[in-house]
Structure 1
Amino acid sequence: MALNCNCSRAGILKFLKKQALLLATIASVVLGIVLGVAMRFANLSKLDITYFSFPGTLFVRMLKMVIVPIIICSLITAVSTIPKTAASKLGGRAVVYYFATTLISVIIGIVLVVSINPGGRFAQNRSGSLRKAEPVDTLLDLVRNLFPTNIVAATFSQEFSSRVPITSKMNVSTVVENPDTAGNFRVNSTAVPEEVTKWTEEDVAVDYKVALQSKSGINALGLIVFCLTFGLIIGQMGKPGRVLVKFFAAANEAILRMVWIIIWYGPIGIMFLIASKIMDMNNPQEELARFGLYMVTVIAGLIIHAFIVLPVIYFVVIRSNPFSYMLGALQAMLTALATSSSSATLPITITCAEKNNKVDSRAARFVLPIGATINMDGTALYEAVAAIFIAQSVNISLNFGQILAVSITATAASIGAAGVPQAGLVTLIIVLSAIGLPADDIQLILAIDWLLDRFRTSVNVWGDSVGAAVVAHLLREDFVRMDEEKNSVREDKEDDGGLSNHIFQPDNADPEEISSV
């Protein structure tokens, strides 16, 4: 009995040591919720809450600090170290997975929101205004950012377009009633007012031009296109490109070690991020009661996609327990819940895939950076639900064609959604325009969007993680063949007695040994 007890105790200690970081992260989420609810009774000011959230802000800044190095080094390393044919297979399978899962999530959202009809029980006055965005301009901005004019500027800014009116002086007619000779209205006149037309010269918009502006934020699409192209080129250069390949591979390993240090600070940052957000809520009881059915619809769709659809895909393709894999990715999902940014979570997502779930690094470093930018299952589901919910709220019945337009537009728009907090609101304008709703109607869901944004970001990260495993499994034979070829080359070098090393590395060779050869 004593022996069994000691073994059990040793097993528990081993588990706690192995999962210490994950357990600390889970505890930080729970403590953050408890602390946030408790601190609401302190009635802190907005300024005090800002100071309180400082440890969490530091964590987000640390993660954002390594986003650009991770994208550049991981993509270039992944693409340059695999053959061209394998790279095309890798990209093709990844794109098929992205579109398939995104379309499935949209269909789930549409079925739920049409069935539950949360907007039919909702009433809200429209107020305020948002910057208008034409769908064609937004889509062109997406394509334009694929090819940045300055790759350095793409690391901290991206371009967007706005329509500027071209005005011209024109005579405009206005109607006034019974003016006197001085041009003023008669106050005490008992005469019947007469309408008189006056002509004034005013600036009138006769046309529009597109003006490009920059906004703060990483142009991830532009970086991805550049890094993929650059990696393919140096990978096909042969010997001259090996120096660059080794450089980026070493830099990538150094960045991942830096990420590991940041990860251990994560539980502290996550606790303060969640607590400060709860403290900053104006009236949580009222918001939860008013948007309850809408939240249930969105969260139910996310749960179905995250715990049924994605695990089924994982099991069918890999024939392994998907929930064991989910446990390995849980650290990244909880970080996404706290930061509300799939891009900021990217360093942790890559680390969890490689270290916890043993996904081939060549697949993880290729699939995950791209997935964090264009694979947004949770965002696509949310946008479909939100668009139809808004239509229901303003008593607009959508026909089958309009619902089909929502599904297609939500799938396409989610690709352009940046991996930053509440970026889905921007692309939601495109979905609303597809069914003829004004951008101002987004005001209907702003009050609760911050909370749903965290859940859908976690699903985005989980979908990326499953994609990395699926693509790595589908290409496992290609990776094995590549490893065998590398081993055979290494064995050939060893079999030649080191002659090639003496020939190609004269600086490290013994002159007498060379002469003897």
Structure 2
Amino acid sequence: MVSKKVQSLWKSNAELIFTLFGVISGIVLGFILRTFEPDPKIIIYINFPGEILMNSLKLMILPLIVASLISGLSQLDVKQSTIISKWAFTYYAITTTCAVILGIILVLVIHPGNPSIKGKTMDETPRANVSGVDKFLDVIRNMFPENIVEATFRQTSTEYIRLNKSDPNSLVLKINKSDGMNVLGLIVFCIAVGVSLSYLGDKGKPLADVFIALDHVITILVGLLMWYAPIGIASLIASKIMEIHDLGKTLQSLSLYMGTVILGLILHLFGTISIVYFIASRKNPYKFLRGLIQAAMTALGTASSAATLPVTFRCLEANGIDPSYTKFVLPVGAMINMDGTALYEAVASIFIAQINGISLSFGQVITVSITATLASIGAASIPSAGLVTMLIVLSAVGLPADDISIIIAVDWLLDRLRTCVNICGDAVGCAFVQAMIERNKPPRIHPSSNNSLPLPQDEESPTTYFTAESEFHANPRRTVQFEPMQQSSFR
């Protein structure tokens, strides 16, 4: 009996157990190999299995987004798509705002910034000149790419070119094409195609069936890839630990800052997000989060919400979330719902002000909160995107962007942790949308043998009333007790 339970447990959780083993093995292996001070060439070799995993997961991103969005929306009517969008963006707004407020409260109360920290790191980062307006316009531009094929490997970005190196004011704004998938543009295009196919109905069914079949194929491929994932995750974590210089000294000097960010992420995940889930579904949020462990462990290795998407889909399927919700909410959430990133940016920007001895006014704190919220929405779902968008937050309140070099040394760890929060937030968003839609569905009224109750009808057709007599005519073999109809039933 016990052996059967063990076999059943192993069979249902084998992938998760292997993934956890990969994470633990990567941490242990990384710290052991650090003691030998390996050459950069050895680190590259150790990172090779992880590189293969990252490439394979990134390979799945494009077909996964296209297939899931188009197949999911093509099977919904326009009204259903609108309702899903409404609840999804309501959830994004609530959780992202709460994350920023929580981060600001923690960093102001704990006050991890100390001017003595400044100057302890050797990394340098050039000052960013891109403003919040420029970044916002980039987001809009990327939503409407001029070439859908080019959007699969390039995106638009604003840069400032210095014409004269000796003149700091000789800057010219230039809109360039940078390498990287324009996920936002692809999402907008796929949403438009999916809604259009839904509107066409039977005429669009042949094309919709192609994307539905592609969605099934991607699911099978991801399932096979998950058996290799533990090896790749162990490789990624081990190589990252090995390449950090003076790990102990770095962790010691920035321990309070790291503790503030980590505490904020924990409180947001197990507090804010869990409360939102419970209010919506009236179910145990921690049981639901337990079903996301494999996706969270994968995020620790990849540090990318987009690369973790295939695993998150599988976890939500196992958690009983309707695919009609996940196929829309997850890809969109992976692009714009960055709770962990928003919290991190709020903490990091005020931390930099503290180490410079700058006291932010109430208005500047409000500016940080608004800018961090908007910047996180535009953050690409790629590793360390939070560092890029944080430059916008620093510029918005006039803080020295060069000081971002102080926190780069520990960003490799915080990036992975906030990615875990991001993907868990996306997953809970799917459950939230499903719960709110099902809660607000009008109850189905079944005909009764002794009551005259209306069933929903089209606006153009008269209301039909079912009584015992009408039920008898529908099923004459059934014995029915007739009762007089209520006068209020007639119009």
- Give me the TM-score of the superposition, normalised by structure 1: 0.82
Query: What is the aligned partner in structure 1 of residue 354 from structure 2?
Result: 392
How far 1:208 moved relative to its partner? 6.2
Query: What is the aligned partner in structure 2 of residue 214 from structure 1?
Result: 177
- Of the three residues 127, 132, 150, the one matched with 2:129 is 132
SS in 2 for 1:151: coil
Query: What is the aligned partner in structure 1 of residue 410 from structure 2?
Result: 448
Query: What is the aligned partner in structure 2 of residue 96 from structure 1?
Result: 90
SS in 2 for 1:238: helix
SS in 1 for 2:252: helix
Q: How much is the aligned-residue C-alpha RMSD, in angstroms?
A: 2.2
Task: Say yes or no: does 1:58 pair with 2:55.
Answer: no
Deviations for 1:230-259, whole angstroms, at most 9, x for unmatched residues? 111111012221111111111111111111
Deviations for 1:181-213, whole angstroms, at most 9, x for unmatched residues? xxxxxxxxxxxxxxxxxxxxx998998653222
| Alignment check: 8 A CA contact 1:132 1:439 kept | no
Identity %: 45
Structure 2: how far apart are the matches of 1:13 and 1:26? 18
Task: Say yes or no: does 1:366 pair with 2:363.
Answer: no
SS in 2 for 1:118: coil
Structure 2: how far apart are the matches of 1:129 and 1:368? 34
- Of the three residues 25, 32, 56, the one matched with 1:31 is 25
Query: What is the aligned partner in structure 1 of residue 150 from structure 2?
Result: 153
- Give me the TM-score of the superposition, normalised by structure 2: 0.86
Structure 2: how far apart are the matches of 1:349 and 1:128? 34
Query: What is the aligned partner in structure 2 of residue 196 from structure 1?
Result: none
| Alignment check: 8 A CA contact 2:117 2:253 kept | no
SS in 2 for 1:90: helix
Pairs within 5 Å for 1:17-28:
17-28=11-22
Task: Say yes or no: does 1:350 pair with 2:313.
Answer: yes
The answer to which of 294-303 and 266-275 deviates more is 266-275
| Alignment check: 8 A CA contact 1:384 1:410 kept | yes
SS in 2 for 1:350: helix
How far 1:410 moved relative to its partner? 0.5
How far 1:331 moved relative to its partner? 0.6
The amino acid across from 2:385 in the alignment is A
Task: Say yes or no: does 1:118 pair with 2:112.
Answer: yes
Are residues 53 and 82 of structure 1, via their aligned partners in 2, closer, same or farther at CA, if it must alter by over 3 Å?
A: same
SS in 1 for 2:291: helix
Query: What is the aligned partner in structure 1 of residue 101 from structure 2?
Result: 107
Query: What is the aligned partner in structure 2 of residue 429 from structure 1?
Result: 391
Pairs within 5 Å for 1:221-236:
221-236=184-199
How far 1:439 moved relative to its partner? 2.1
Structure 1: how far apart are the matches of 2:232 and 2:161? 43
| Alignment check: 8 A CA contact 1:413 1:427 kept | yes
Task: Say yes or no: does 1:73 pair with 2:61.
Answer: no
Pairs within 5 Å for 1:397-416:
397-416=359-378
| Alignment check: 8 A CA contact 2:250 2:409 kept | yes
SS in 1 for 2:178: strand
| Alignment check: 8 A CA contact 1:135 1:429 kept | no
How far 1:53 moved relative to its partner? 1.0
| Alignment check: 8 A CA contact 2:222 2:311 kept | yes
Structure 2: how far apart are the matches of 1:213 and 1:372? 24
Are residues 481 and 260 of structure 1, via their aligned partners in 2, closer, same or farther at CA, if it must alter by over 3 Å?
A: farther
Structure 2: how far apart are the matches of 1:27 and 1:372? 26
- Of the three residues 338, 342, 348, the one matched with 1:380 is 342
| Alignment check: 8 A CA contact 2:131 2:396 kept | no
Deviations for 1:313-352, whole angstroms, at most 9, x for unmatched residues? 1112111121221121111111011110001001111111
Structure 2: how far apart are the matches of 1:129 and 1:325? 43
The answer to which of 90-99 and 136-145 deviates more is 136-145
SS in 1 for 2:143: coil
Deviations for 1:420-461, whole angstroms, at most 9, x for unmatched residues? 110011110111112111321211211111111010000000
Structure 2 stretches of 5 or more lacking a match?
445-491
| Alignment check: 8 A CA contact 1:306 1:463 kept | yes
The amino acid across from 1:33 in the alignment is I
How far 1:9 moved relative to its partner? 2.8
| Alignment check: 8 A CA contact 2:128 2:391 kept | no
| Alignment check: 8 A CA contact 1:377 1:459 kept | yes
How far 1:163 moved relative to its partner? 3.2
Structure 1 stretches of 5 or more lacking a match?
1-5, 168-201, 483-517
How far 1:164 moved relative to its partner? 4.3
Structure whose alpha-carbon radius of gyration is higher: 1
How far 1:19 moved relative to its partner? 0.6
Task: Say yes or no: does 1:341 pair with 2:308.
Answer: no
How far 1:132 moved relative to its partner? 3.0
The amino acid across from 1:411 in the alignment is T
Structure 1: how far apart are the matches of 2:40 and 2:168? 43
| Alignment check: 8 A CA contact 2:309 2:334 kept | yes
How far 1:480 moved relative to its partner? 11
| Alignment check: 8 A CA contact 2:129 2:160 kept | no
Task: Say yes or no: does 1:323 pair with 2:286.
Answer: yes
The amino acid across from 1:273 in the alignment is L
| Alignment check: 8 A CA contact 2:60 2:310 kept | yes
SS in 2 for 1:53: helix
The amino acid across from 2:301 in the alignment is A
Structure 1: how far apart are the matches of 2:133 and 2:57? 33
- Of the three residues 380, 388, 392, the one matched with 1:418 is 380
| Alignment check: 8 A CA contact 1:166 1:205 kept | no
Are residues 479 and 252 of structure 1, via their aligned partners in 2, closer, same or farther at CA, if it must alter by over 3 Å?
A: farther
